[in-house]
Amino acid sequence: MNSQRKVAVVTGAGQGIGRAIAIRLAKDGFAIGCLDFNANTAKDSAKHIADGGGEALAVKVNVVERDQVFAAVAEVVAHFGRLDVMINNAGLGPITPIEEITPEIYRAVFDVNVGGTYWGIQAAVKHFKTRKPAKRGDVIGKIINASSQAGQVGNPDLAVYGATKFAIRGITQTAAKDLAALGITVNAYCPGIVRTPMMEGIAQVVAKQNGKSVEWGLEQWAKTVALGRISEPEDVAACVSYLAGPDSDYMTGQALIIDGGMVFN
C-alpha cells in the first residue's frame, strides 16, 4: 500500500450508484473500502477495481447496525492505514403510497437511509480526529452523503424515501457546521432518475400496472428530465468524484443536484 494514496469508504458499493462511485474513485487514485450488505457483490466490486490496477477491500456490513459500521470502517483503516473520504451511499427506495405506509416500512427505510448515514458520519469522524488541520480551513477529511432529487421536492408514492432524503440534507448541513473546525467537510449529492436495480424495481411496478416493459417504465420517468434521458450511475459518480477531490475543498454543507434538469434552484 502506497502510504500517500488516499482512502475512501463507500457503503452500498456492491451495485448501482455505489459500485460506480467505488470504481470512479479508484480511477481517481483512491484505495477503496467496498462496504455492502451483500458480501458477494462487495467482493465483485473490489475484484473489478483490483483487476483494473486499483486497490480495494470488500467488507460485509449492515449499515443499520452502528457497531457493524464502526467495525467495518476500522477494518478498512487497519488494512490501508488511513481514511480520507467517507461516502454514505447505501439506501432503500420502496414505492410507498401514503395510505399503505406501515410501521415496518417506515422503520426499515429510515434505519438504513438515515441511521446508516448517522453511523457512517460517526465512524468516519472517529478516524478523522486522529489528524489535526495545520491551520483553520485546512481539510483533513470529507464526508459525502446520498440525498436525492426526491430530497429536494416531493415525489408521488415516495413519501418515506423522500422524507429520508430531505432528512439527509438537514443532517449534511448540521454536520458541516459541527465538524468544520475539525477540518472535515460534509456535502451531499442528489441524483435524479438513475438506471440502477433500485430504480428498475420502481419502474417495474409502474410498467406492470400498465402492461408494459421495464424500459417503458423508465422512459416515463425520463419525460420529466430536461436532457431527455435517465442518468447512468457513472453520471452520479462523476459528481461524487468532484466532491471527493481537492477542487471542492472550499465547499461544505451543500447538496449538489445531478439529475439532468429536473429540479432548478
d(CA 194, CA 235): 9
Which residue stretches of the chain are H helix? 16-27, 39-51, 66-80, 103-110, 116-128, 159-179, 197-209, 214-222, 233-244
Q: Is the pLDDT of residue 116 over 90?
A: yes
The 10s digit of each residue's pLDDT in 137-153 is 999 999 999 999 999 99
Average pLDDT over residues 200-210: 83
> Annotated active-site positions, please?
161
In this prediction, residue 265 carries a pLDDT of: 86
Average pLDDT over residues 79-103: 96
d(CA 174, CA 187): 10
Q: Return the residue matching grid coordinates 449499515.
A: 63
Cβ atoms within 10 Å, residue 190: 26
Query: Global pTM?
Result: 0.94
The answer to whether the beta carbons of residues 26 and 7 sit under 8 Å apart is no
The 10s digit of each residue's pLDDT in 5-49 is 999 999 999 999 999 999 999 999 999 999 999 999 999 999 999
Average pLDDT over residues 70-79: 98
Considering only the C-alpha atoms of the chain, give the largest distance between any 2 of them, rounded to a whole number of Å: 61
Task: Tell which wins on pLDDT, 53 or 214.
Answer: 53
Q: Provide long-range contacts, Cβ within 8 A and 24+ apart, for 52-58.
A: 52/23, 52/26, 52/27, 54/26, 54/27, 55/1, 55/5, 55/26, 55/31, 55/80, 56/22, 56/26, 56/31, 56/32, 57/31, 57/32, 57/33, 58/34
- Range 7-193+232-258 classified under CATH 3.40.50.720: yes
